[in-house]
Structure 1
């Protein structure tokens, strides 16, 4: 953790909804005039799309049916840790972009599924913002979770997570339902070993829970809407959280435990604004004092 160079990390599985949380933070940064270095976790995959397919085929031929983007072998965990460590100490670091589709790839004259070159982060940023799969990963070799000043987990209940991934990959990426299902099955051991354990390190978790039937996510035609969901928000350390203020500001909210508030799905962004804006204020105040600007 660093007062001069704070780090916020959003972590969650593919299809969990981390990009929605990122948009909320970007709105806060814009409103509060905070210049943040924004890094996507996909930039720290080890292999580009073609190479990953080749490595998966090789793994399957060797009898490994579970080689996936969630695991250590397919990611640069050491590079994520190095980025967080360097930024916390100096406000600098390096990153690159993973070009998901033709639209993202066009400005770089590259193929979709490739990486741009490594480049330094923008200068003079007030904080680092990471969004991806492994913002709180801990293994015997690396401890990424110890660096962020704010760690946020995005964890829909598993059936909803699968529905969101199926819808996104089918409608936005052109994959078949069978291909997405195969991906989910292949990733399951790494999901258990690398994704789930991160949420014991997060400071705040957002878990969207549908209130409609999602018993068979593989035949669901639609993603449950915000109005068809509740959001469970759990604080690892509730000290300093004004729950009564949140209850007064968010209609339909209630407390399920001493450290947990439940809000209507349509109020998730409002809840994030109310919860995280004071976090940003405190980070910026500590930073100004540490830099002697207060």
Structure 2
């Protein structure tokens, strides 16, 4: 953790909804005049799209049916840890982008599914903002979770997570339902060992719970809407959280435990705004004081 160079990390599985949380933070940054260095977790995959297909085919031929994007063999965990360390210490680091589709790739004149070259972060940022799969990953070799000042987990109940992934990958990325299902099954061991354990390190978890039937996510025709869900918000350390204020500001919110508030799904973004804007104020104030003391 760092007062001069704070880090916010959003972590969650593929299809969890981390991109929606990122948009909320972008709105807060814009409103509060905060300049953040934005890091996408996909940029720390070890292989580009073509290489990953080759590696996966070779793994399956060797009998490994669980080769996935979730584990250490296919990600640059040490490089991610080094980025967090170097930024927290001196506000510097190196990053790149993963170009998901033709729109993202066009400005770089590269094929989709490739990485841009590594480059230095901008030198005048107020904080680092990470969104991806491994913002709180801990293994015997690395501990990424120790560096962020604010760690946020996005964890829909598993059937909803699968519904969201199936819908996105079929309708946005053009995959068949069979291909997406195969990916879900292949990733399961790494999901259990490298995704789920991160949420014991997060400071706040957002878990969307549908109130409609998602018992068979593989036949769902659409994603349950915000109004068809609840959002369970759990604080690891509720000290300093003004629950009476949140309950007063968010209609129909209630507390299920001493560290947990439940809000209507349609109020999830409002809850994020109310919860995280004061966090960012405090980060900016501490940063200004620390820089002024130099």
Q: Please classify the TM superposition score into its range, dividing by the shorter chain length.
A: over 0.9
Alignment pair present for 1:167 and 2:198: no
Q: CA deviation at 1:293?
A: 7.0
Match of 1:206, SS state, is strand
Where does residue 143 of structure 2 map in the other structure?
143
Where does residue 130 of structure 2 map in the other structure?
130
Match of 1:117, SS state, is coil
Q: CA deviation at 1:122?
A: 1.2
Match of 2:251, SS state, is coil
Alignment pair present for 1:221 and 2:235: no
Structure 1 stretches of 4+ moved >3 Å: none
Alignment pair present for 1:259 and 2:232: no
Aligned mates of 1:50, 1:229 — CA distance in 2: 37
Match of 1:291, SS state, is helix
Alignment pair present for 1:117 and 2:117: yes
Aligned mates of 2:248, 2:81 — CA distance in 1: 39
Aligned mates of 1:185, 1:293 — CA distance in 2: 53
Match of 2:262, SS state, is strand
Where does residue 58 of structure 1 map in the other structure?
58
Where does residue 25 of structure 1 map in the other structure?
25
Match of 2:92, SS state, is coil
Normalized against structure 1, the TM-score is what? 0.99
Aligned mates of 2:51, 2:80 — CA distance in 1: 20
Q: CA deviation at 1:123?
A: 1.5
Q: CA deviation at 1:102?
A: 0.6
Where does residue 241 of structure 2 map in the other structure?
241
Match of 2:292, SS state, is coil
Q: RMSD in angstroms over aligned alpha carbons?
A: 0.8
Mark the runs of 5 or more structure 1 residues left unpaired by the alignment. Answer: none
Correspondences of 1:171-210 after superposition (within 5 Å): 171-210=171-210
Correspondences of 1:100-115 after superposition (within 5 Å): 100-115=100-115
Aligned mates of 1:190, 1:23 — CA distance in 2: 27
Where does residue 4 of structure 2 map in the other structure?
4
CA-to-aligned-CA distance 1:48-103 (integer Å, 9 cap, x gap): 00000000001001100000000100000001100000000000101000000011
Q: CA deviation at 1:3?
A: 0.1
Match of 1:23, SS state, is helix
Match of 1:187, SS state, is helix
Aligned mates of 1:173, 1:250 — CA distance in 2: 35
Aligned mates of 1:275, 1:113 — CA distance in 2: 35
Aligned mates of 2:97, 2:222 — CA distance in 1: 30
Match of 1:231, SS state, is strand
Aligned mates of 2:176, 2:123 — CA distance in 1: 42
Aligned mates of 1:122, 1:70 — CA distance in 2: 28
Mark the runs of 5 or more structure 2 residues left unpaired by the alignment. Answer: none
Match of 2:136, SS state, is coil
Count of equivalent residues: 294
Aligned mates of 1:185, 1:279 — CA distance in 2: 37
